[in-house]
């Protein structure tokens, strides 16, 4: 069972990396809607896997991951300063298409032609 400190540190890392994404000047990262989907930290805080997704698609997410890998030293230094960690984990960036996938599912659900349910007799609408 993960400790509360590990969960808190994971959430802090996710929050700070999201903030750093907005501050970065790399054109592979800054010109698109990029989101940190999930962060996983090992129990000993030696590795941190960061899952990145882009609204524009998987190709943009892969380019963003390449830019983030190039800036991983800068990101680690900033995390160490902002979170006051003794040991900043090594960052591993991975692209995922979860935002694109959820937008696709949402459009599929929106295109369904389902009539709204009518209340049965005897039931009153509380609204």
DSSP assignments along 9-24, one per residue: HHHHHHHHHHHHHHH-
pLDDT of 122: 64
pLDDT tens-digit readout, 12-33? 999 999 999 888 888 888 878 8
Would you say residue 2 has pLDDT above 80? no
Residue ranges per domain, the chain?
A: 4-101
* pLDDT class of 1 with cuts at 50, 70, 90: very low
Closest CA to 28 of 77, 65, 53, 58: 65
pLDDT of 75: 93
0.85 surpassed by pTM: no
pLDDT tens-digit readout, 51-89? 999 888 889 899 999 999 999 999 999 999 999 888 899
Would you say residue 48 has pLDDT above 70? yes
The class that CATH gives domain 4-101 is alpha beta
Sign of CA dihedral 38, 39, 42, 44: negative
Distance in angstroms (rounded) separating the CA atoms of residues 40 and 84: 19
Distance in angstroms (rounded) separating the CA atoms of residues 106 and 102: 6
Would you say residue 123 has pLDDT above 80? no
Express as a percent the part of the chain with pLDDT over 70: 94
């Amino acid at each position: 069972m993960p400790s509360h400190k590990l969960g808190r540190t994971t959430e802090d890392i996710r929050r700070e990396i999201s903030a750093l994404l907005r501050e970065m000047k790399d054109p592979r990262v800054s010109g698109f809607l990029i989101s940190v989907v999930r962060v996983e930290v090992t129990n000993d805080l030696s590795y941190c896997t960061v899952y990145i997704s882009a609204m524009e698609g998987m190709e943009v997410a892969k380019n963003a991951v390449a830019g983030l890998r190039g800036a991983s030293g800068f990101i680690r230094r900033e995390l160490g300063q902002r979170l006051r960690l003794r040991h900043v984990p090594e960052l591993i960036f991975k692209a995922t298409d979860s935002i694109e996938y959820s937008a696709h599912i949402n459009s599929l659900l929106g295109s369904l032609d389902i009539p709204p349910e009518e209340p049965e007799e005897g039931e009153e609408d509380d609204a």
